[in-house]
Amino acid sequence: MIRLVLKLISTNAIWKTFVAILIILTCPRNTFSQKSYYNHTYQRPLNSVPSNYSIDISDSILGASGKSFLHFYLKDSKGRHIQYAEVHVWSLSADSLLYSDSTGTAKMILSKGYYSITIESIQYEDIKIDSLLVTENSSTAVHASLGNSNLLAIAIIHSKRALTEAEIASIIYDLSTEQENELILNKTCFITWEA
């Protein structure tokens, strides 16, 4: 019996198995396990960022026609041009649908009067202007900054330590407004997204 045990130990396969078991037992547990240091998880929806706009009106001469220019300059909250945004301009006597180009610009010529305007794009908050007065021989520029709607964005925050509600709110605000957050930068937290 002793000879059989010695013969088994001396074979190559047994020796390799013994060495593998010895390595597994002597290595730290975290080397082979998937234990995470990020033990705290928080799931929160992002906040919508409001859109805003400003209107500049100046004189313009389009001949004796009495018409006016209407220009739209569309950007997101980071200053990037928004392409293919839908701009709907209507009044009692007119109804037009425009799309912004690659520079975030849309323009048209129209008659004097009161106009309602809606600016829409899929991932942004809409802008509604109920009553814009367009006068003869004027140039009206609408500068719009569209905020992210974040309608379906749900962040999952993984943290090494318990977070306060203020820290969670700060992370959600920074993610919503596309800013950097100190807790993510110093790797206290990382973010995944709900599918």
Q: Which two tokens stand for residue 103?
A: 């520079």
- Inform me whether the pLDDT recorded for 30 exceeds 60: no
Amino acid at 66: G
| Single pTM value for the model | 0.71
Domain ranges of the chain: 1-33, 36-49+149-195, 52-146
Residue 4: pLDDT above 70? no
Distance CA 146, CA 143 (A): 10
Structural contact between residues 53 and 144, judged by C-beta atoms closer than 8 angstroms: yes
- In this predicted structure, the answer to whether residue 27 has a pLDDT above a threshold of 50 is yes
Question: What's the average model confidence in pLDDT over 37-60?
Answer: 92
* R_g of the chain, CA atoms, integer Å: 31
Whether domain 52-146 has CATH 2.60.40.1120: the reply is: yes
Average pLDDT over residues 126-150: 93
Neighbours of 159 (CB within 10 A): 20
Q: Give whichever of 7-11, 21-25, 30-34, 155-159 has the largest mean pLDDT.
A: 155-159
